[in-house]
Amino acid sequence: MVSDMGGAATLLGLLHVAGELRPKINLLVVIPAAENMPSGSAFKPGDVITIMDGYTVEVLNTDAEGRIVLADGVLYAKKLGATKLIDVATLTGAILVCFGDVASGAVTNDDAFLQPLLQAAKAAGEKVWQLPNYKEYRDLLKSGIADIKNSTSPDRWAGAITGGLFVGHFAGDTPWIHVDTGGTAWLWSEKGIEPKGGTGALVRTLAAYVLQQQQEGAGK
């Protein structure tokens, strides 16, 4: 559970940087937080739950609970007026299968929106690699009884991609980037400038991106 809150910690780190540097940019930060504890009211495999704005989710994997909370976070950010979305989360173990603890994976619905973030990552010394957003991957999330299902199959094919695309479903047409730091937010031993334990993965990248947007005179 310590590394599961890595995405929230990253956004808190970004807020700290923003408080120090006070960039002239409209920055909205949403941290959807929930207690991850079992109880008699916990959802079960086969449940269909209704989340924000009336969307329905078929629950096939109860361990894929974080993405459901993130869906609410994305919808809430849009309700507050966000016109571009970047979510950061330790979303999947599958990203470790892809990249180990070396790189974070990104998926987007807008390639042009992603490019400045990749440039910021390079400038900040963090490795972020783009994953594909093919229709075939989105189709894996289709449900026969709900708007979307929270897991694709028992084999969990393309798990890092489909996990991100689940969140992206709720972004709709709003430009959106998802970054999965499931392999980089926590290290079992020191590596370069990264400490053992929590690394703050993506804080430097997001800070560089915000400053980059300020220089380009971007708005919201």
User: Is residue 17 pLDDT above 70, yes or no?
Assistant: yes
> What pLDDT score does 218 carry?
52
| Domain coordinates in residue numbering, the chain | 3-23+44-215
CATH class of 3-23+44-215: alpha beta
Average pLDDT, the chain: 94
Distance CA 52, CA 73 (A): 9
**Is there a contact between 85 and 77 (Cβ–Cβ < 8 Å)?**
yes
Torsion of Cα atoms, 77 then 157 then 99 then 59, to 10°: 40
Q: Are 86 and 177 in contact (CB under 8 A)?
A: yes
Other beta carbons less than 10 A from residue 17's beta carbon:
17
Average pLDDT over residues 106-112: 98
Tell me: pLDDT of 166 over 50: yes
The pLDDT of residue 219 is 46
Q: Which pair of tokens denotes residue 141?
A: 């999330």
CA distance 166 to 121: 24
* Distance of alpha carbon 7 from alpha carbon 22, whole angstroms: 22
pTM for the full model? Answer: 0.95
How far is residue 94's CA from residue 218's CA, in Å, rounded to a whole number? 34
Dig out the tokens for 140 from the structure. 């894996």
Q: How confident is the model at residue 220 (pLDDT cuts 50, 70, 90)?
A: very low
* pLDDT tens digit sequence for 37-62: 888 889 999 999 999 999 999 999 99
DSSP H or E segment with residue 88: strand 85-89
- Count of helix runs (H) and strand runs (E) in the chain: 7, 9
pLDDT tens-digit series, residues 183-218: 999 999 998 888 899 999 999 999 999 999 999 875
What pLDDT, in 10s, does the model give residues 145-156?
999 999 997 777
Higher pLDDT, 117 or 35: 117
